[in-house]
Chains A and B, each alone.
Chain A
Amino acid sequence: MSESVSTAEAPLRGLPPGDAEPGIWQRYGVVAVFLGPALLLLGVWVVYPTIRTIIRSFFDRSGDEFVGLDNYQTLFSDDTLLTAIKNNVLWLLIVPALVTAIGLVFAVLLERVRFSVAFKVAVFMPMAISLFAAGVIWRLMYEKDPDQGTVNAAVAVVKDAVTPSGVLSAAQPSTDALQGGPKGGLVLERPLEKGAVAQLGLTGIRSSDVPADAEQAVVPEALAGGITGVVWRDFKPGGGIAGEVEAEELGLPGVTVELRDENGRSVLETQTEADGTFAFEEVEAGSYRAAIGPDTFSEPYAGISWLGASLITPAIMLSYIWVWAGFAMVVIAAGLAAIPRDLLEAARTDGATELQVFRRVTIPLLAPVLTVVFITMLIYVLKVFDIVISVAPGSVQDDANVIALAMWRTSFGGVNDFGLGSAIAVFLFLLVIPILAINVRRFRREV
């Protein structure tokens, strides 16, 4: 090498073309200068480790003892590693297809509108962000508490619109006059007839849980033909007397009061006012019980546990699709733009519907581009790592495991078994080769 460096500048200088050939050292010296540094780095950092890892995978954890295929056996028998393989298979089956499909839909939608730049940028932006940062973003999105996690907050809004959550999830009866529990509702023991006034006192309500529009509780007038009553917070600073409506005690608005017949069936229903009063204006003769309906006590929505063991893999997949949809969209849109317009027009002139044009003309012409996106995604999904380790909390990483994560955790994440870690790396390598081979063959055919 040293001679060649010194002659690097020499070749051809001052030599008229076709004159004496430069010496062999001069010629290959130039090649060595240009090629040497790159080959040296590739040799030390890529080729040597690859061979070394393959050899290492046949040795035990300490590296002293040859164990044959033992590490590979462990790979297919250890529970955590099997989960990793299973999850990676799921990733391969689901994610590339979904990313390609979503990219196709976006690209087709984009074709139909004029001002598409903003949309393109919005969808493509996550591509510039690291998968790790995307993981942090989605970890935040998936927080379980609907007051904090965006996804659950959105679910809560929808859920509240369908089934509102109760106003008083922790309330208790203030006296024995009320019986029952949150499940069946609280029932006033005393039977009621026309003209009765029911007093339903509750305690155990935090001041912060009292609805903001609550006013001083009032015992309503009796109605000749109906039943009236009040639901109130039977508590004031200092205590007060249980079972009596007193000054400074607030009515509880928005509580559902049911009137139940002797068989316990709910016959009438109403809501309390700001001062806690309610009225059933016309009641048929008979004996009734007043009850506070169970939905008053239903717990507020607690949120879906996206980061729990059972949903973690789909949750991570979703965030991964968020990142890669833009890539698929841009590549497919470029493919769409390259389709000759006349071809589509010709099909339309021949009377094909839009759907037929799409399925019979657009899709077949797009097939090569779709394949590129799909295969690119296969390769990336096979090696997925950053987003899994950042979205999944430590406690569920066993459930969210994938091959690349298992390799890292086995080698550096505490287990520190270089033998098994090497075997996992080789396994990953073997999986990548056929996919890339297909890609190269396809590429060469196209060129």
Chain B
Amino acid sequence: MTTAEIEAGQIDIREPTAARIIRFLGRTPVYLLLTFLGLLWLVPTIGLFFTSLLEPAVIGTTGWWEIFSAPSLGTLDNYREIFDNEAITSALVTTIWVSIGSTILPIALAALAAYAFAWLEFPGRDWLFLVVVALLVVPIQMALIPIFSLYNDLGLFDTILGLILFHTAFGLPFAIFLLRNFFIGIPRDLLEAARIDGASELRIFVRLILPLGLPAIASLAIFQFLWVWNDLLVALTFARDTQPITVAIFSQLRQFSGNIEIIAPAAFVSLAIPLVVFFAFQRYFVEGLLAGSVK
């Protein structure tokens, strides 16, 4: 038992039961309020989920809450339908490839660059680092038009590679910034020792820096993955037939009420993966967020 626990125990013993009940009752309104707010925050997502389960015949006219009084309205047909739908499945595959590529490539390149900025000596290093970080300000909108023209010339328009390269470039400044600040915290002695042992820089990078930098790399990977998976703007601009899932759903929005039996399940599938990632790596997610918000 720690001192704190013992102290807490003592306080509990000293406090009369009546006082504890009063204190609990005093908190009850807060509990009720939080429960209400929490449910309020869940309703929209739950609503989408149950809507996606409604029979195609009633989906455009019935509220999702009806499913509780008439469970027979529920069906998995909509999901079966979208997984038979070539346009939706190939869009999902595209999203998976783009997300994986756009997570690995920028982190690999950023880690290399961050190592150079942290531990290699060359003239103008800090200035160059400042310039790279300054590129954080450039909104994606500044690049859309020239890259659109460039992609048309290079044949990268409507390709997975084109999307990956764009996401990679715009993911780099923040990734380099974050990793460089992490790498610079690695004790100098470790590096010096490795260098004295005759390890090449590349070897030091692979054997020493990457393993030590894993926590930062993990947070970064989760963020980058979610960012790219959830992207609409870039995909909408550079993809036409090879479209990620967001664009595939977007093109159904034009006739919203008529297409709910596609939109609702597809939207739910598209947000289920980020949710799984989020729940699986919640700790990294929150830590990364706290680090990122100070950028």
Contact = CB atoms under 8 A, between A and B. Distances in A.
Interface of A: 8-15, 17, 27-28, 30-31, 33-35, 37-39, 41-42, 44-50, 52-53, 56, 106, 109-110, 112-113, 116, 118-119, 121-134, 136-141, 143, 145, 147-150, 153, 319, 322, 325-327, 330-331, 334, 372-373, 376, 383, 385-386, 389-390, 393-394, 404, 407-408, 411-412, 418, 421-422, 424-426, 428-429, 432-433, 436, 439, 443
Interface residues of B, number: 97
Nearest to A433: B137
Given A140-B51, A436-B136, A123 B38 contact: yes
B138 to A, nearest CB: 6
B277 A330 contact: no
Q: 5 closest Cβ contacts across the A-B interface?
A: A130-B230, A45-B169, A128-B278, A49-B143, A34-B116
Given A106-B37, A119-B37, A133-B230, A322 B168 contact: no
| Chain B facing A: main interface SS | helix
Interface stretch (B68-76, B82-90, B195-203, B212-220): B195-203
A147 B230 contact: no
B2 interface: no
A10 B202 CA distance: 10
Interface in B236-294: 236-237, 246, 249-250, 253-254, 256-257, 260, 263-264, 267, 270-271, 274-275, 277-278, 282, 285-286, 289-290, 293-294
A443 B166 CA distance: 28
A11 to B, nearest CB: 6
B278 A404 contact: no
A33 B200 CA distance: 13
Given A133-B267, A136-B253, A418 B145 contact: yes
A377 to B, nearest CB: 10
Given A34-B112, A49-B146, A330-B289, A123 B246 contact: no
B139 A432 contact: yes
Contacts of A31: 116, 120, 122
B122 A27 contact: yes
26 contacts: A10-B200, A12-B198, A13-B198, A28-B122, A37-B109, A38-B112, A41-B169, A45-B169, A53-B142, A112-B30, A116-B34, A123-B37, A127-B278, A128-B277, A131-B230, A136-B253, A136-B263, A141-B47, A149-B63, A386-B233, A412-B236, A424-B141, A425-B145, A429-B137, A429-B138, A429-B139
A194 to B, nearest CB: 47
Contact of A412 (B148, B172, B267): B148
B63 A386 contact: no
A289 B120 CA distance: 99
Contact of A132 (B39, B141, B230): B230
- The CB with the most chain A CB atoms within 10 A, among B61, B113, B141, B198, is that of B141
B45 A425 contact: no
A409 to B, nearest CB: 11
A34 B256 contact: no
Interface in B71-126: 109-110, 112-113, 115-117, 120, 122
Contact of B165 (A9, A41, A123): A41
B182 interface: no
A207 B116 CA distance: 79
Given A113-B27, A129-B271, A141-B44, A34 B113 contact: yes
A129 B144 CA distance: 24
Contacts of B274: 128-130
A63 to B, nearest CB: 9
Contacts of B236: 408, 412
Contact of B113 (A11, A39, A123): A39
A30 B120 CA distance: 9
A9 B202 contact: yes
Contact of A125 (B137, B147, B278): B278
A394 B38 contact: no
A158 to B, nearest CB: 14
Contacts of B64: 150
Contacts of A331: 289-290, 293
A390 B250 contact: yes
Nearest to B110: A38
